[in-house]
């Protein structure tokens, strides 16, 4: 079965015929599952459209190659607190956004944390330190329950 957590397609090797295409677009996707979401959007032809402000960067920069335009797109964890958990690493918690939307969301969240609990603000929202293997283990657990 495909190693992408939310994918149930049969795989040849580690990935299905869709997700194996990460090699062409987002080479570090195996350690960053959210990039598989970006890949899906790219393959759908929506890789340059911001899901937050609706901006189509391909239309804005028609002279740039798609490959170059999509590098300006980030995958945002809608609820960043569950980043790195099985629940948090699902398409339902992802949105493909432009650099500005991502930047401003990060700034707003930081402001929010600072205002709310300046003295005990978490040093960092825990990042995703695991790999696809960690997610795989979770997947296995769930499948065997
Ligand atoms: Zn797949
Ligand atoms: Zn945007």
Distance separating alpha carbons of residues 6 and 20, to the nearest angstrom = 14
Q: How confident is the model at residue 123 (pLDDT cuts 50, 70, 90)?
A: very low
Rounded distance from Cα 9 to ligand 1 centre (Å): 6
Q: Which residues surround ligand 1, an ion (CB under 5 A)?
A: 2, 4, 7, 9, 16, 19
Residues 6+ apart with CB under 8 A from 136: 3, 5
Q: What is the arithmetic mean of pLDDT over 136-142?
A: 56
Confidence check: pLDDT of 76 > 50:
yes
Distance separating alpha carbons of residues 116 and 96, to the nearest angstrom = 27
Q: How confident is the model at residue 1 (pLDDT cuts 50, 70, 90)?
A: very high
Rounded distance from Cα 102 to ligand 2 centre (Å): 7
pLDDT at 134: 56
Rounded distance from Cα 93 to ligand 2 centre (Å): 17
Rounded distance from Cα 19 to ligand 1 centre (Å): 5
Rounded distance from Cα 32 to ligand 2 centre (Å): 21
Average pLDDT of every residue of the chain: 85
Rounded distance from Cα 74 to ligand 2 centre (Å): 10
Burial of 53 (0-12, 13-18, 19+ CB in 10 A): exposed
Lowest mean pLDDT among 26-30, 86-90, 98-102, 132-136: 132-136
Q: What is the arithmetic mean of pLDDT over 6-14?
A: 94
- What percent of the chain is modeled with pLDDT above 90? 72
Confidence check: pLDDT of 136 > 90:
no
């Amino acid at each position: 079965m495909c190693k992408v957590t939310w994918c149930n397609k049969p795989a040849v090797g580690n990935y299905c015929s869709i997700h194996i295409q990460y090699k062409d677009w987002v080479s570090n996707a195996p350690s960053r599952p959210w990039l598989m979401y970006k890949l899906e959007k790219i393959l759908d032809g929506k890789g340059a459209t911001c899901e937050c402000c609706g901006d189509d960067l391909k239309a804005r920069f028609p002279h740039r190659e798609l490959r170059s335009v999509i590098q300006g797109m980030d995958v945002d964890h809608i609820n960043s607190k569950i980043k790195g958990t099985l629940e948090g690493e699902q398409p339902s918690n992802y949105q493909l956004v432009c650099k500005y939307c991502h930047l401003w969301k990060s700034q707003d969240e930081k402001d929010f944390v600072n205002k709310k609990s300046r003295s005990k603000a978490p040093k960092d929202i825990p990042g995703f330190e695991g790999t696809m293997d960690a997610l795989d283990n979770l997947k296995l657990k769930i499948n065997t329950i």
